[in-house]
Chain A
Amino acid sequence: MDFGLLFDSYFAVWLNPQVLFMTLLGACGGVLLGAIPGMTATMGVALLIPFSFGMDLIPSIGLLLGIYCGGMYGGSISAILIHAPGTPSAAATLLDGYPMSQKGEAGRALSVAMFSSFCGGVIGALVMTFLSPLVADMAMNFGPGEMFMLAVFGLSVIIAISGKSIVKGLISAFFGMALCTVGLDPTNGIPRFISYKQTGLLDGFQFIPTLIGLFAVAEVISGVERIISGEEKQEKSSEKIKKVLPDLSTIKKIWPNILSGGLIGTFIGAIPGAGGDIAVFVSYGASKSASKHPELYGTGIPNGVAATESANNGCSGGAMIPLLSLGVPGDSVTAILLGAFIMKGITPGPMMYISELPTVYKVFAALMLANLCMLIVGCCGVRFFAKIVSVEKKLLYPIILVISLLGAYSINKNVFDVGVCVAFGVIGWLMNKYEFPLSPILLALILGPMCEKNFVRFMNIQQGNFMAIFQSPIAVVFMAIAVAVIIFSVFNQRKINKRMAGASASDE
């Protein structure tokens, strides 16, 4: 590695006013877009890419990376404040973020999310800078068998996020996995549970309307119910946000979660086809399993928010690794970035490290700058965002509902998706009421298609011999970790249930 050139590139990017302005603008737009339920970082990048046509490569990459990083953090704002994850990868943030907000710590949750996003992004950018060829080589060894086992490994987290009842969590997860199979079979195009006439469901249930329904619409229905029953009274938040960044004692508590989350996010982000939506749940499960007090997860602790948000933004660096090293995009945003590179006459891949090394280093610097800009935008906005929880609930719930339904429509501009969103809102409300956890359904909806697609590919390649999976060391490692996670999570959950039973007995 040419450190002299690396530092020169950093100075050239960071001291260029045009790059600075465009990255800051991108981060600002990304945070705002990400905070709107239904609007993802991918959509933001896709929408703004035409604006980058007339610019030089680095300012345009700065703009797009700013949106990418900003959008990743922005999704957590609505997850924390209104129980509606702005982006799929912010879905796990609400597990602890929303309870923190309900406890009157919305500002603290937002600052932890912002700080963790920044740190996760920096970890991803550092790994990308120093280890990209190494990580890319490893990530490219992932075939269908390895991807299938990665999905199984992701699913092993279900027990850790199941809450009080593992059985109910597993029913939710299998129900979610079964829902993923509605629509056309991904290999042969055979309709399942539908007919060809039901065109709205040919692609199955769209993920974002489902996500918005399960969380945002269900929360509105529950909220209305709580207001009528008198359980929810308008309380003015007593939280005064003196510092926009978390205090030192909080940072001391959350740094292991940030570090592990950042690394998990970077690694998973580097695998083509896997992204932030998987990484956040894996990181949350790992963080909960490693904690001395796993029973506190889900009750509103900063560790849960830090674990998910650092993994989320760690993915941004991770996803850039295969893009730059191999010319293979790690996720949908980097696929659009690949287009931006090609339009500027640069073809990412192994040769880029030889013929375009200064450009590669400038991209590293731009990603680091994008994370810094996201932090600046976040710091400026924390006080303003936190005010949203002070809005009267009687006004807030209807607003959340109409914005969520619009978000569901905007994905495919299809009214059917709005219907799906409402249907899942009702399902989510009922499941919440009868203590079926919703996160396993969500995880199943994320991992189900990946799991099935790779399972079918693997079985067809291996001519029906499933045992061939044991010939892949990576798959075996994932399988072993998945089994260990399941066993550990079962014991952990029993410990949690015992502690909670003990705590409630002592309360009485």
Chain B
Amino acid sequence: MKKTQTVAFANLIESIFFIALGIWAWIKTGSFEEVKNTYVQASTFPRIMIAGMLIFSVILCVQSIWRLATWKEEDQDSLAGKAASINVFKERPIQAAFVVIVLAVLFVALFQILGYVICAAIVSLVIMFLIGKRNWLQMVLVSVIVPLAMWFVFYKVLTVNIPMGPLSFLTDLFG
């Protein structure tokens, strides 16, 4: 295993990410409007929290650098172990996870246009297929009946109006 595949190296990258995020957020707080006659400005509390995040990110960074400097291939501790990967080009499980994320984003984008039932049915059907389900009857039934039942519960029982897109006639039907 390479040094760059260890948990310690992953921690180093994560700490750098949080340091960069903290610095960006700190700079942003400088643009917050200031108010006269107040003892606490709008930027005070966020700055305390960002400072906390920066301090502990630096600690994690130092810990990781120290661990990497003393790293040997035969080390057995948790920091020397193999870190999780998010390499979307090499690993099929990560590709599948990204497909789910893309589907969820599409769900959000098309929610108002296609409505809940159609979006939910498509997303469920694709995820079921993606993870190896091949019983089409079961797949179609579950991905249609569950969103319909949920819509019915939310619309009729909990009186939450949910976008239905082309299926808006159902709202009139059960109105």
Which residue numbers of A lie inside 8 Å of B, CB to CB?
33, 36, 39, 43, 47, 164, 167-168, 170-171, 173-175, 177-178, 180-181, 185, 187-188, 190-193, 217, 220-222, 224-229, 392-395, 397-399, 401-403, 405-406, 409-410, 413, 415, 418-419, 422, 425-426, 429-430, 433-436, 448, 452, 455-456, 459-460, 463-464, 501, 508
Contact = CB atoms under 8 A, between A and B. Distances in A.
A464 B49 CA distance: 19
Given A174-B56, A177-B49, A228-B93, A415 B104 contact: no
A495 B105 CA distance: 43
Interface string B2-28: 000001001100100010010001001
B49 A181 contact: yes
B28 A228 contact: no
Given A170-B56, A226-B93, A418-B111, A185 B100 contact: no
B107 A418 contact: yes
A463 B108 contact: no
Contact of B84 (A181, A393, A415, A433): A433
A438 to B, nearest CB: 15
Interface string B53-96: 10011011001000000000000111000011010000011101
Contacts of A409: 111, 116, 162
Of B14, B35, B45, B133, the most chain A CB neighbours within 10 A belong to B45
A251 B162 CA distance: 44
Contact of B154 (A168, A222, A406, A452): A406
B46 interface: yes
Contacts of A413: 160-161
A167 B56 contact: yes
Given A178-B25, A422-B104, A399 B142 contact: yes
Given A433-B84, A434-B84, A401 B127 contact: yes
A75 to B, nearest CB: 16
Interface residues of B, number: 73
Please list the 4 inter-chain residue pairs (A to B) with the smallest Cβ-Cβ separation, ordered nearest first.
A464-B39, A398-B124, A174-B53, A174-B52
Contacts of A190: 32-33, 35, 42
B136 to A, nearest CB: 13
Contacts of B127: 224, 397-398, 401
Contacts of B14: 434, 436
Given A434-B14, A464-B39, 15 more contacts: A164-B78, A173-B52, A175-B21, A181-B46, A188-B38, A193-B46, A221-B97, A225-B93, A228-B92, A398-B128, A399-B146, A402-B120, A405-B108, A415-B111, A434-B11
A180 to B, nearest CB: 8
Interface of B: 7, 10-11, 14, 18, 21, 25, 28-29, 32-33, 35, 38-40, 42-43, 45-46, 49-50, 52-53, 56-57, 59-60, 63, 76-78, 83-84, 86, 92-94, 96-97, 100-101, 104-105, 107-108, 111-112, 116, 120, 123-125, 127-128, 130-133, 138-139, 142-143, 146-147, 150-151, 153-154, 158-162
A413 B163 CA distance: 9
B128 A395 contact: yes
B39 A459 contact: yes
A167 B133 contact: no
Contacts of B84: 433-434
A210 B53 CA distance: 20
A286 to B, nearest CB: 24
Given A167-B59, A401-B104, A464-B39, A224 B160 contact: no
Contacts of A171: 18, 53, 56-57, 60
B131 A405 contact: no
A429 B84 CA distance: 12
A4 to B, nearest CB: 43
A434 B83 contact: yes
Contact of A422 (B40, B45, B101): B101
B132 to A, nearest CB: 6
A180 B25 CA distance: 13
Contacts of A217: 104
A410 B160 contact: yes
